[in-house]
Amino acid sequence: MKHVVTIRNDTGDEAASISSVRRVEDKLVMEGKALGTMQMDMILSAEDALRAARMMFSRHGLSFIVLLPFFAIRNKIAKRRNDHTKESKG
């Protein structure tokens, strides 16, 4: 199974999905789709990668990274509850 990272907007619709990442010289090339339909290669330059790293290591980015295990566990529990509720109704 191919791993895909999906980026969604605030309504839950797919904004972009990234299916593979490779390095080409000094650029990062991410293969994926924009808006769920348009296949494209998205290119991240070294300068943009540094800007993205600064964003991720901001106060908000770091708090998200630290809380990722909590979010994963919470979502797993919620999914189990929803699955269990559907089984008992059906």
**Where do the structural domains in the chain lie, given as residue ranges?**
1-52, 57-90
- Residue 1 pLDDT level (bands cut at 50, 70, 90): very low
Look up residue 27 and give its amino acid: K
Counting residues of the chain whose pLDDT is more than 70, the rounded percentage is 94
The pLDDT, as a whole number, for residue 37 is 82
Question: Across the chain, what does the average pLDDT equal?
Answer: 88
Task: Give the mean model confidence (pLDDT) for residues 9-22.
Answer: 91
**Span 46-69, pLDDT tens digits:** 999 999 999 999 999 999 999 999
Which residue is it, tokens 């339909």? Answer: 37
The pLDDT, as a whole number, for residue 90 is 58
What are the φ/ψ torsions at residue 23 (nearest 5 degrees)? -100, 130
Task: Give the mean model confidence (pLDDT) for residues 19-34.
Answer: 92
